[in-house]
Amino acid sequence: MHLKPDPLPKVFPGQPKIVFTDVDETLTWQGRLPEETYSALAKLQRAGISVVPVTGASAGWCDCMIRTWPIDSIVGENGAFYIDRNSDGRLSYIYALEESERAINWQRLQRLKQEVLNQFPFAYQTADQAFRITDIAFDINQDREIEREDAFTIAQYCRDAGMVAKISSIHINVWRGDYNKASTADLWLTAHGFDNDEAIFSGDSPNDDSMFSNFRQTVGVSNILPFIEELDSPPMYVTDQPGGYGFAELAAALLGK
């Protein structure tokens, strides 16, 4: 049994330079980005604290976010790549795997996706599947709602087929390759000249376990509490509010306000 995380301090200890954060139900809440969250992102950027979303979201969503939000980098599709935006607004993609390996994996994933849809009547691909370039994803609590036990069944079927499968609060993400959110976050830190202890992480689900275990200081928004027993490494702190409202709490603590 895990101990409940400590309440988030009003003033965050230390002065991190990087805030890695999940997106769905960590920056958003019930599928929407609150005004408070967008304002928090802008305030952190003005204060010189870089926010880098680390998400299972598709490449299409990542492209939209980095072009329209006050962020300059994003890690997408559970660590398959990160995107940087330069001062001219141009984007560059850095992948965890070589193109030839990605192409082989993609074909295997497409076959597996069809197997899962044929095998399990409660399986539904995500609405953003057409905008994914390295993984497949099944909807469990976004546009469709299925029992969590059924989600575990799909995930295990994919693992038995030799894939990595992670369950978030809304999706099952499935990919092939020796990478995850944390490994690519570390690649980003090295490429940008930061040490691991200069970063913190905030998240909301078991899909974030690799990130919770990778950083010394971690924060869960309050909607993580039902999933604490599924985490190998629960967060150090938890906010009072859920989703993006909880992230706004974190931003205020980081800014000392």
The verdict on 190 and 65 lying in the same domain is yes
Are 85 and 151 within one domain?
Answer: no
Q: Residue 75 falls within a domain, yes or no?
A: yes
Q: Which residues pair with 128 in a beta bridge?
A: none
Summarize the confidence of residues 142-152 as an average pLDDT: 95
Q: Are 21 and 55 within one domain? A: yes
Question: What's the mean per-residue pLDDT of the chain?
Answer: 96
Is the per-residue pLDDT at 1 higher than 80?
no
CATH of the domain at 44: 3.40.50.1000
Beta bridge pairs of residue 173: 137, 166
Bigger pLDDT: 43 or 169? 43
Residue where a domain terminates, one of 175, 195, 212: 175
The model's pTM is: 0.94
* pLDDT-above-90 percentage for the chain: 94
Q: Domain of residue 232: give its range.
A: 16-96+179-255
Pairing of strands 50-53, 18-21: parallel
> Do residues 73 and 191 share a domain?
yes
Inside any domain, residue 91: yes
pLDDT tens, position by position, 161-203: 999 999 988 999 999 999 999 999 999 999 999 999 999 999 9
Asked whether residue 136 is assigned to any structural domain, the reply reads yes
Supply φ then ψ for residue 83, to 5 degrees: -120, 135
Q: What SS3 state is found at 192?
A: coil
